């Protein structure tokens, strides 16, 4: 956060100060001014408790969606029909794990921890995007997810690159770049099927038929039924209403479907000259509510697999933490299971240092 609210960060991190203390009015005014001036709120800045709670909820749900969202696509990794497609799909699922990691880090800047958030996911106290409760029944579903689900996600997320909370906005810049790449790959996968054999074309059409309406539901309830929207827009966490983004998505998809040679499963879909937008049919909000409540086709399966991966991995995380504690020497208390268990290229150096320490002692 720059000029208008710079004075907020003097002294200790402002969020340690009790809310409702005498300075709060001043903090609130400075916060409002910073938001009004389109400045970024940063982790050490004062922020209203409700703003913090909303962001934790939204970023955690976003992170959880990336992690659960790996499942429907990973379902096809072992069956991908060409080595090129297999590589693309593996890279995509890997990116999603990476997005989950960025987003948990962004959420952690608000004073929570990845462990705590995962626990809330596993116990159903925090949600993930309802779209991932639909099954991937054919290979074409991988393409439909790329084109429609990632397309909807991008429409939702590009405005978040200008979100008022700095760490979230910066994570979204990176994520949106990768997502738009995935979206193009999904489109290209469907195009190959659509132009392929009659069986492939039918497979593509069937996938689009099944994923179209759930994708429209990704924008959330209609504006008049969206409980968090007004406040989120006032805080500049959100920039556009659900219905506005949904309309934008429909308008983008219609010409894309035409060039794919596929139809969208909505008899009421047609161009409205007066509005300059496409009109489209009514969304089945009963289905949306049922999926949200846990009664979609895959809710049980997705959460069970996530819990199982976590539970079956417990001994691995414990071993990593115990090893780190034994060989902490220089790294000390900071080498918790979270950092000690990393095996990614970027953190290999840390792991290597720990390993060499072990060698000297042996």
Partner 1 sequence: MTATVATTAALALGDDALVLSHRLGEWAGHAPVLEEEVALANIALDLLGQARVLLSMVGDEDELAYLREERAFTNLQLVEQPNGDFAHTIARQLYFSTYQHLLYAALAGGEGEFAPLAAKAVNEVAYHRDHAEQWTLRLGDGTDVGHERMRRACEALWRFTGEMFQPVAGLDVDWAGLEAAWLESVGDVLERATLTLPEGPRVTAWSAGAGRQGVHTEPFGRMLAEMQHLHRSHPGASW
Question: Judged by CB under 8 A, does residue 256 bind partner 1?
Answer: no
Specify the 3-state DSSP secondary structure of 217. helix
Give yes or no for residue 112 binding partner 1 (CB under 8 A). Answer: no
> Is there binding between residue 98 and partner 1 (CB under 8 A)?
yes
Q: Which of 124, 222, 255, 313 binds partner 1 (CB under 8 A)?
A: 313
Task: Work out which of 196, 222, 255, 329 binds partner 1, going by CB under 8 A.
Answer: 196
What are the two backbone dihedrals, phi and then psi, of residue 228, each rounded to the nearest 5 degrees?
-95, -10
Length of the chain: 362
By CB under 8 A, tell whether 85 contacts partner 1: yes
Asked if residue 314 binds partner 1 (CB under 8 A), the reply is yes
In degrees, rounded to 5, the angle at the alpha carbon of residue 76 between the alpha carbons of residues 82 and 183 is: 80
CA distances from 88 to 68, 85, 196, 211, 334 (A): 19, 5, 19, 21, 36
Structure tokens at 123: 């116990």
82 binds partner 1 (CB under 8 A): yes
Among 5, 41, 298, 320, binds partner 1 (CB under 8 A): 320
Report the residue from 223, 317, 328, 331 that binds partner 1 according to the rule CB under 8 A. 317
Query: Applying CB under 8 A, does 94 fall inside the site for partner 1?
Result: yes
Site for partner 1 in 127-186 (CB under 8 A): 139
Nearer to partner 1, 56 or 63 (CB): 63
Q: Rule CB under 8 A: say whether 97 interacts with partner 1.
A: yes
User: CA nearest 42: which of 112, 115, 109?
Assistant: 109
Q: How far is the CB of 145 from partner 1 (least distance, A)?
A: 14
Give the sign of the dihedral formed by CA 142, CA 143, CA 145, CA 150: positive
CB 187, CB 146: distance < 8 Å: yes
Cβ closest to partner 1, residue 28 vs residue 305: 305
Whether the Cβ atoms of residue 277 and residue 252 lie closer than 8 Å to each other: no
Q: Should residue 329 be labelled a site residue for partner 1 when binding is judged by CB under 8 A?
A: no
Q: How far is the CB of 305 from partner 1 (least distance, A)?
A: 7
Report, in Å, the least distance between residue 111 CB and partner 1. 20
Measure the CA–CA gap between 159 and 181, rounded to whole angstroms.
17
Site residue total, partner 1 (CB under 8 A):
68
Nearest to 131 by CA among 66, 54, 200, 50: 66
Structural tokens at position 246? 């949904």
- Residue from 4, 17, 77, 252 in contact with partner 1 (CB under 8 A): 77
Between the alpha carbon of residue 170 and those of residues 63, 96, 105, 173, 325, the distances in Å are: 14, 16, 11, 5, 33
Judged by beta carbon, residue 113 or residue 289, the one nearer partner 1 is: 113
Q: Segment near partner 1 (CB under 8 A), from 39-47, 189-197, 241-249, 253-261? A: 189-197
Do the Cβ atoms of 353 and 360 come closer than 8 Å?
Answer: no
The answer to whether 116 contacts partner 1 (rule: CB under 8 A) is no
> To the nearest whole angstrom, how small is the minimum distance from the Cβ of residue 22 to partner 1?
42
Nearer to partner 1, 14 or 324 (CB): 324
Six token digits for residue 10: 């003097």
Taking the complex as a whole, the smallest distance from the CB of residue 59 to partner 1 amounts, in Å, to 15
Contacts of residue 45, Cβ cutoff 8 Å, sequence gap at least 6: 1, 5, 8, 9, 14, 15, 31, 34
Report the SS3 class of residue 112: coil
Q: What angle do CA 33, 37, 42 make, to 5 degrees?
A: 75
Identify the residue among 22, 199, 273, 274 touching partner 1 (CB under 8 A): 199
Binding site for partner 1 (CB under 8 A): 67, 70-71, 74, 77-87, 90-91, 93-94, 97-98, 100-101, 104, 139, 189, 192-193, 196-197, 199-200, 305, 308-310, 312-324, 326-327, 337-338, 340-345, 347-348, 351-352, 354-355, 358-359, 362
């Amino acid at each position: 956060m720059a000029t208008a609210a710079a004075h907020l960060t003097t002294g200790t991190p402002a969020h340690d100060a009790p809310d409702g203390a005498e300075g709060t009015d001043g903090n609130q005014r400075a916060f409002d001014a910073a938001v009004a001036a389109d400045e970024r709120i940063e982790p050490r800045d004062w922020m209203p408790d409700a703003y913090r709670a909303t962001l934790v909820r939204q970023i955690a749900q976003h992170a959880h969606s990336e992690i659960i969202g790996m499942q429907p696509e990973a379902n096809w990794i072992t069956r991908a029909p060409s080595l090129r497609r297999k590589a693309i799909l593996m890279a995509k699922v890997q990116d999603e794990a990476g997005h989950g990691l960025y987003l948990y880090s962004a959420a952690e800047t608000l004073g929570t921890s990845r462990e705590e958030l995962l626990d809330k996911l596993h116990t159903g106290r925090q949600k993930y995007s309802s779209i991932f409760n639909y099954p991937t029944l054919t290979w074409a579903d991988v393409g439909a997810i790329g084109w429609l689900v990632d397309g909807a996600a991008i429409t939702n997320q590009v405005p978040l690159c200008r979100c008022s909370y700095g760490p979230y906005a910066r994570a979204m810049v990176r994520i949106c770049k990768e997502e738009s790449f995935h979206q193009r790959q999904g489109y290209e996968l469907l195009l190959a099927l659509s132009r392929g054999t009659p069986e492939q074309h039918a497979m593509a059409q069937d996938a689009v038929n099944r994923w179209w309406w759930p994708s429209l539901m990704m924008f959330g309830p209609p504006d008049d039924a969206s409980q968090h929207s007004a406040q989120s827009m006032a805080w500049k966490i959100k920039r556009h209403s659900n219905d506005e983004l949904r309309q934008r998505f429909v308008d983008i998809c219609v010409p894309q479907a035409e060039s794919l040679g596929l139809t969208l499963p909505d008899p009421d879909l047609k161009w409205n000259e007066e509005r300059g937008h496409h009109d489209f049919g009514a969304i089945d909000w009963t289905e949306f509510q049922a999926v949200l409540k846990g009664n979609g086709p895959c809710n049980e399966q997705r959460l069970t697999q996530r819990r199982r991966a976590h539970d079956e991995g417990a001994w691995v995380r414990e071993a990593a933490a115990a090893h780190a504690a034994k060989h902490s020497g220089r790294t000390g208390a900071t080498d918790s299971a979270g950092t000690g268990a990393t095996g990614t290229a970027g953190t290999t150096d840390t792991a290597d240092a720990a390993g060499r320490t072990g060698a000297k002692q042996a």
